[in-house]
Amino acid sequence: MSTRCPAADQRRLLDDPEGIKAAWAGFKNGGVVTCPTTGAQLSMAVDGSTGSYRLVCSGCGFPSPWFNAGPAGISFRENDPRSSRF
């Protein structure tokens, strides 16, 4: 059974460029990144054809937009409808 995460927390973490950057930085450092309220772990999804990533909450399945990660940081994929707002 999965834990339902509060939508407000998911938006703060995975629907916000700064939240995603912080979560990604945690991943790169080998840390475990979790939903702020339920503690559900975030997992990383990889799109091998484009080399992009996204973070998905293992509790509720809420995904971040796809992004590309490079030495200078992350950039959001322009053809992802959700990242057009950033």
Minimum distance of Zn ion from residue 40's CB (angstroms): 5
| Interface with Zn ion, residue 55, by CB under 5 A | no
Q: CA dist 28 to 45, 76, 80, Å?
A: 14, 17, 23
User: The dihedral of CA 81, 77, 12, 30: what is its sign?
Assistant: positive
- Residue 1 sits at the vertex; the CA angle it makes with 3 and 38, to the nearest 5 degrees, is 15
Q: Per rule CB under 5 A, is residue 35 in the interface with Zn ion?
A: yes
Complex with Zn ion: residue 38 or 68, whichever CB lies closer: 38
Using CA atoms, how far apart are residues 14 and 22, in angstroms rounded to an integer? 10
Residue 77 backbone phi and psi in degrees, to 5: -70, 130
> Which of 14, 19, 60, 65 lies at the binding interface for Zn ion (CB under 5 A)?
60
Candidates 12-20, 21-29, 49-57, 67-75; binding stretch for Zn ion (CB under 5 A): 49-57
> What is the size of the binding site for Zn ion (CB under 5 A)?
7
Question: Would you tell me which residues interact with Zn ion (CB under 5 A)?
Answer: 5, 35, 40, 57, 59-60, 62
